[in-house]
Amino acid sequence: MSLPLSPPFPPMEALLVNEIPNGHGWQYEPKWDGFRCLVFRDDENVELQSKSGQSLTRYFPELVEVFRKLKAKKFILDGEIAVPVRHRFSFDDLLQRIHPAESRVKKLAREHPAIFIAFDLLATVDGVSLVKKSLPERRARLEQFARKFFSNEGIRLSPATTDISKARQWFKTVGGDLDGIMAKRLDCPYLSGERTGMQKVKLARTADCVIGGFRYASNAKVVGSLLLGLYNDAGLLDHVGFCSGLKSGERTALLQKLKPLIQPPGFTGHAPGGFSRWSTKRSMEWEPLKPELVVEVSYDHFTGERFRHGTRLLRWRPDKLPKHCRMEQVAKRGTGSLALLS
């Protein structure tokens, strides 16, 4: 009997909310700081699928072997891939795995093996789909599956609770290994590709940054994005990311505000630029500014001395001195949460 589902299969997604939902009918889980992954095993064939439907199989050979060693010959699991380094999860080491060179991937896999944290079971060892079952039934089947088959350190069971006080306690550790809290409706089946029935809560993070430069928009002579900087311990201004999503009506006026400040070098530490497989000629071009303007931005993650994604402009801070915009603002908060997996 073959698997009832095959990749690419869109995973169930979550709606971002501001507070952990309360009341009967919710199950709470940690939201781990890793890569979402669906695992398909059909005899010797193991496929790891990303949230976007792309294959992750070649990037995590050690996990492929972990799943091949399980006595269960058929199953579909939903979970998260993470890389523990010195008793903490390292998103930087996880990102390095997406590399075109097989030799590099294997080297990294030996140095810091990834683990898989399972939080849902979508198909059983009998090849029966569970996606139409309610969450309590799927969770019970997952726990049974884990007790029977999870014996390797490379695969763990993510904890779950219906006690909101415990979920709130977990939320206090967000900023370490946890990215937030997931809340799932108990009465929902597995809704592939939908955000109904599952919510996520993240810790609001803000930082005051110096505007060290800007890039023009791709289709007009207006400001496209602001380049953000923070001062390091040596007193140098490091480029740490960008802020786009500026209102169209403000871009021209903002350019007039920035033009008088155009002056190299802009950043005295790490600067924008440096070719990569994602860069284009356009993305390499930027105007340096005197470090006089400060903005407050919101962000999701700061890893590898950069904002992982683009940030959102909250407000200008004329009351803030640029020299006070230091890297220590974005030091990783929270505590290690690997104990939740023991």
Task: Give catalytic residue positions.
Answer: 31
The number of beta carbons lying within 10 Å of the beta carbon of residue 86 is: 7
Extract the tokens encoding 281. 């000629």
Query: Exposed, middle or buried: residue 9 (CB in 10 Å: 0-12, 13-18, 19+)?
Result: middle
Q: Residues with Cβ < 8 Å from 234, sequence gap 6 or more? A: 269
